[in-house]
Amino acid sequence: MQRFVVIHYGEIALKGDNRGFFERKLVDNIKSALAEFGALKFKNLYGRFIVELINVGDFEAIKNKLQKVFGIEYIALAWNSTLDMEQMTKDAVAILKNEKFKTFRITAKRTIKILLLLLSKSLRN
């Protein structure tokens, strides 16, 4: 299962004709902040970057570095999974097995909303 950091950035998305310049500068700053973690793959989506974590174990260290980069609004850890409900359930359980909480919530914005309902039911069992 691959891990990613989702980086949402702020007002540079509003910069108009020179938006690309500011996005490239932010990517350069992120790469500089995360240089000690080795090679990273970036994907640019509108208003956010997805950074694939390759052989990186400590999300807290990455989060601490990114919190010092100007222009980042917030950071979230993410994992990918398949559309297979059984595998998705196994992945979710593996991620959460060492976490302590009384309740949890899964929300998603996607076109395949039935997956959210099925995953929620699977995790309760």
Over residues 54-100, the pLDDT tens digits come to 766 678 888 899 999 988 998 988 888 887 878 888 888 888 888 88
SS (H, E, C) the chain: CCEEEEEEECHHHHCHHHHHHHHHHHHHHHHHHCHHHCCEEEEEECCEEEEEECCCCCHHHHHHHHCCCCCEEEEEEEECCCCCHHHHHHHHHHHHCCCCCCCCCCCCCCCCCHHHHHHHHHHHC
* Stronger pLDDT, 31 or 111, i.e. the higher one: 31
The pLDDT confidence band at residue 29, using thresholds 50, 70 and 90, is very high
pLDDT at 117: 61
